[in-house]
Amino acid sequence: MMFRKAFTLVELLVVIAIIGILIALLLPAVQAAREAARRSQCTNNLKQLMLAVHTYVDTYQRLPARQSGRGHIQALEQRLRISGWVQLAPFYEQKSVYDMAMQANNDPWTNGAWQTQIIPVLNCPSDSGDIPPRGGKRGSTSYAFCSGDNYETSVHSPTERSDAAQSVALMNTPIKNRGMFGRQDYNSLANVADGTSNTIALAERSRPRQDNDKGSVIDDQSGDPASYIPLACRAWWSGQRYISGAPIFTGDTSPGYRWGDGAAFFAAISTILPPNSAVCMLRGGGWTAVSGHFAPGIWTATSEHPGGVNVAMADGSVRFISDTIDCGNLGVVAPSPTAGGISPFGVWGALGTKAGSETITGF
């Protein structure tokens, strides 16, 4: 009698188990390789954006402002809310988009052709956030301009937006920061007294994937900027996401979903809290009735890279900053935007200031 050779059921199960184990062992390596490639592309994006910044400086002898535009906060036209990304667009090969924006001459939240552009260099491939933007799609971005170690806002006072005369009077008065970028504040590289290799210009600020996720903004209506300490903001963060019941701002478009808007809510990063922790809007001390997109806040750098964020220094180099970077004393109120002196927020704070006279080591 002849028998046909074949695998037994046990042998088949063993082979399947071995294949499963091999896949389980290989999958993390494949995912790590993919993330390494995405992070590399993200780094290249920042280098391209810094090249655009330096070309802008060569052309105008000044850095772009984070927030600018025609009109004023209360008027029609651009409402003084155009982002630095729009100003820089001709220098990263998006002149047609820039021309559309200038011809439209409108604000960055009214739906239109230029607001909805998805521009590859402004989007990190690791950044997978895709919350449906409240009020319509307005384009996306994964990066922001460094405002330094102060609580950054987009208006001079809580009443600027509601007082037409005040809006007109202040429209050309810069809002300066300890960092390189502000509203109508066109710095020169000569103002970067701490050295261009020691000063952050741009950094990642990832789009939240859901309302309680990294990148979302806490709406702290008791947070008075005059007395607020960063530890109060950090207390909302569990290490992976916000704690249950955290007052997330959901009143309008989330950060990262309005590339053309220069308000600090969308376009600033603060070097106060460590990367990949809480982001907080401070609406106490007279700011309660002000729209969240105008209020001061701690605009923390965030990313989808494990362990830290990419930042672009003023000299054009890109560095990876760990979540564990020294942040100094988070139990003190942040310096005034126009104050001099060293940052209280350690190495991270020092990297954000353009003229703090700090000696920076350990990063």
For the chain, what is the mean pLDDT?
91
296-344 residue pLDDT tens: 999 999 999 999 999 999 999 999 999 999 999 999 999 999 999 999 9
pLDDT interval class at 93 (50, 70, 90): very high
35-70 residue pLDDT tens: 667 778 999 999 999 999 999 999 999 999 999 999
CB 86 within 8 A of CB 66: no
The yes-or-no verdict on residue 352 having pLDDT over 70 is: yes
151-207 residue pLDDT tens: 999 999 999 988 999 999 999 999 999 999 999 999 999 999 999 999 999 999 999
Query: How would you label 232-257 residue by residue, b for 16+ Cβ within 10 Å and e otherwise?
Result: bbbebbeeebbeeebbbbeeebbbbb
Q: What is the DSSP string of 64-81?
A: PPSEE-SS-TTSSTTTT-
The yes-or-no verdict on residue 83 having pLDDT over 80 is: yes
Q: In 8-53, at which residue ranges do the beta strands (DSSP E only) sit?
A: none
- Mean pLDDT of the 210-220 span: 92
The yes-or-no verdict on residue 24 having pLDDT over 80 is: no
Look at strands 308-313 and 297-298 and give their pairing. Answer: unpaired
Question: What is the chain's length?
Answer: 363
- Encoding tokens for residue 10? 């046990």
| pTM to 2 decimal places | 0.90
- At 148, which helix (H) or strand (E)? strand 143-148
Of residues 331 and 29, the one with the higher pLDDT is 331
Taking the CB of residue 153, how many other CB atoms lie within 10 A of it?
A: 28
204 bridge partner residues: 143
- Encoding tokens for residue 169? 């009077």
User: CA–CA separation, 12 vs 214, rounded Å?
Assistant: 44
